[in-house]
Amino acid sequence: MQTIASARQKDGKKVTIIAKLDNSMPMEYDAIRDPNYFSFYIVDTMGYKAKVVYHYGKPYDMEKAERIVLKGKMNGDVFEIAQKDGILIKCPSKYKDDPESAKKSLSKTQD
């Protein structure tokens, strides 16, 4: 896995980055104007930020993502992801704020 800084050093080569969504910056998606253009910003564990352009539609529940695994290439200061490469979204557990439900669900599967 790469950081944004190390991906910049490999400009044009396919890399995988794990980052968080930068909620202080806007997302851009207009399905009518261009359904294959979605842009957003990420920040990695080192605090580096980058704009991401995904050449596909906006993934479901993107706003809820805790972590995002991105496969693509740096093109200058923009991380570009082709449709075939993709995004993997790691969303929070549905049991995170409700440990009692987690225990109940676990006990049902063990019966």
Domains of the chain and any CATH numbers: 4-110 (2.40.50.140)
- Model pLDDT, residue 85: 72
> Residue 94: its pLDDT value, please?
54
pLDDT at 97: 53
Half-sphere exposure of 85 (CA within 13 A, CB side): 17
The pLDDT value recorded for residue 39 is 96
Q: Considering the entire predicted model, what is its pTM?
A: 0.79
Cα–Cα distance, 71 to 17 (Å, whole number): 7
Collect all residues with Cβ–Cβ distance below 8 Å to 28 and sequence separation of at least 6: 37, 38, 39, 40
Residue 67, CA distances (Å) to 9, 36, 44, 89, 108 in order: 23, 22, 10, 6, 29
pLDDT by residue for the chain (111 residues), tens only, comes to 788 999 999 988 999 999 999 999 999 999 999 999 999 999 999 999 999 999 998 988 888 888 999 999 999 999 999 877 789 888 776 545 555 544 444 444 344
